[in-house]
Amino acid sequence: MAIKRFDVGSWLDSPLSRRRLDLSQFARERAAVADICARVAAEGDAALREFGERFDGWAPREGETFQVPQSDLVAAANRLAPADRSALEFAAQRIRDFHSKQVQPASSGPPGLKLVTRPVRRAGVYAPGGRAAYPSTVLMTAIPARVAKVPEVVLATPPSADGSVPTAILAAAYIAGVDAVYRVGGAQAIAALAYGTASIPRVDVVAGPGNIYVTLAKREVFGSVGVDGIAGPTEVMVIADAGARPDFVAADLAAQLEHDPLAWAVLITDSAALADRVEEELRSLVSGLDRAKIINAATCCLIVADDLEQAINLANDFAPEHLLIVAADAGRMATQVQNAGAIFVGAYATIPLGDYAAGPNHTLPTSGAARFASPLGVYTFLKRSSVLSLNRGDLEMLRDATVRLAALEGLTAHAHAVDVRLE
């Protein structure tokens, strides 16, 4: 396993410290995605069937559809092992409770002015397949849409070669209240949700993670549809003092690295001895894990800082997706964090709790986007409109400033539209 060691100076001098989502290296994939999206927009279901055969090994035959029968969702929930269903329902309730706190009351300004918040009419959520099935992603995307009171929520997910969808995915869709599940994956799924086909309705917002093709497709269709964000590989940063348990720290680093060979894990500590111990623990742990090959291909960095204040500054600059703070003064340090998708405080706040059952969303800004972006939430599925209900007195009060500013910009028709009402 390649573990890179840095002091603060060498870290800041390294391009790794300035990592950002760079899609320019994927020119071939971008061209392929642009073609897929254009084909789906122009040819609809015919293109979906062709790409389904090519990429998923399945497309609906005579008498079949892309949509999974609703009865299959109910059957999947009933077929799931009771302990597994209980875990999904427990997580779903905590996710629902947490996201319910994001619902904002109506707001108003001066008389005659108010802000109206409405849900989008239809949301499309995506659950990736491939290396694993992710029922947790179904919960994390569909439940906030439901809390936002989106009237219709649909799910797209890749099928197996026989057209089946994992039982856990269908069960999660049932528990989350998804209206329809479509057996289509990859860039073609994002395009279908964005543009609509005869079989799959056009949505207003697409949310959910995926591989590079899904990421590029979300970028391609943005503008025709809203998207939750353009995500890069998953990442974790841990800030730990000398008192942190090295086996705990190593476990959290490995937990995120097992997602993807492109994943990131960074430890910042003020203790060179802890960095040594964590490296030892990590190498020992990874050798016995099922996904050791993936972890060994990922990026892992250990940074020895002068002190923990410096560590916080480095974290704010890096803006990690997940930030875990394990230190004697972790609570105070957490208040100094300005840029992070999710902050985990204390030795027992392990990141997988946030991935599954704690309640906050696990779809988070990556690649430094936490500098300006937020986790997926209820607000992802809401839009706002300003309402101006003004009378003649309001017009007279606003007239002088409006006419003067219109003249300043040379827009005389704007000024006339005001003055004609006062003649």
- 258 flagged as catalytic: no
Mean per-residue pLDDT for 123-134?
Answer: 87
What are 142-180's pLDDT values in tens digits? Answer: 999 999 999 999 999 999 999 999 999 999 999 999 999
**Could you report the per-residue pLDDT of 48-81, keeping only the tens digit for each?**
999 999 999 999 998 899 999 999 999 999 999 9
Residue 389: pLDDT over 70: yes
pLDDT value at 229 more than 90 = yes
pLDDT of residue 130: 67
Q: To the nearest 10°, the Cα dihedral for 16, 18, 23, 27?
A: -60
| pLDDT band with cut points at 50, 70 and 90 for residue 139 | very high
User: Is residue 108's pLDDT more than 80?
Assistant: no
Confidence of residue 332 (pLDDT cuts 50, 70, 90): very high
In the predicted model, is pLDDT for residue 406 greater than 90? yes
**Confidence (pLDDT) at 145:** 98
Length of the chain: 423
Ranges of beta strands (E only) in 222-263 are: 226-227, 235-240
Say if residue 214's pLDDT is above 70: yes
CA atoms within 13 A on the CB side of 83: 0
Radius of gyration (C-alpha) of the chain in whole angstroms: 25
Catalytic residue among 322, 362, 416, 423: 322
Name the catalytic one among 220, 258, 281, 321: 321
* Segments making up each domain of the chain, as ranges: 3-21+232-358, 27-227, 390-419
Selection from 183, 184, 189, 181 nearest residue 213 by Cα: 189
Average pLDDT over residues 211-230: 96
H helices present in 288-369, as ranges? 292-297, 308-318, 330-334, 351-356
Q: Which has the higher per-residue pLDDT, 348 or 108? A: 348
Token pair recorded at residue 186: 């990859």
| Environment class of 39 (CB within 10 Å of its CB; exposed 0-12, middle 13-18, buried 19+) | middle
Say whether pLDDT at 132 is over 80.
Answer: no
Can you read off the two tokens belonging to residue 288?
């016995």
Q: Which CATH class is domain 3-21+232-358?
A: alpha beta
> DSSP letters of 25-53?
T-HHHHHHHHHHHHHHHHHTHHHHHHHII
Across the chain, what does the average pLDDT equal?
Answer: 95
Confidence of residue 105 (pLDDT cuts 50, 70, 90): confident
Q: How confident is the model at residue 131 (pLDDT cuts 50, 70, 90)?
A: low
Tokens of 38: 């254009």
Verify whether residue 64 is a known catalytic residue: no
What pLDDT, on the 0 to 100 scale, is given for residue 64? 92
For the stretch 267-297, what's the b/e string if a residue is b when 16 or more beta carbons lie within 10 angstroms of its beta carbon?
bbbbbeebbebbbebbeebbeeeebbebbbe
Among 108-117, 150-159, 214-223, which stretch is predicted with the lowest mean pLDDT?
A: 108-117
- 255 versus 20: which is more confidently predicted? 255
DSSP assignments along 132-196, one per residue: ---HHHHHHHHHHHHHTT-SEEEEEE---TTS---HHHHHHHHHHT-SEEEE--HHHHHHHHHH-
Domain at 27-227: CATH architecture: 3-Layer(aba) Sandwich (3.40)
pLDDT score of 355 more than 70 = yes
3-state DSSP assignment of residue 354: helix
Identify the band that residue 280 occupies on the pLDDT scale cut at 50, 70 and 90.
Answer: very high
Residue-wise pLDDT for 244-276, tens only, equals 999 999 999 999 999 889 899 999 999 999 999
List Cβ neighbours of 212 (8 Å cut-off, separation of 6 or more): 26, 29
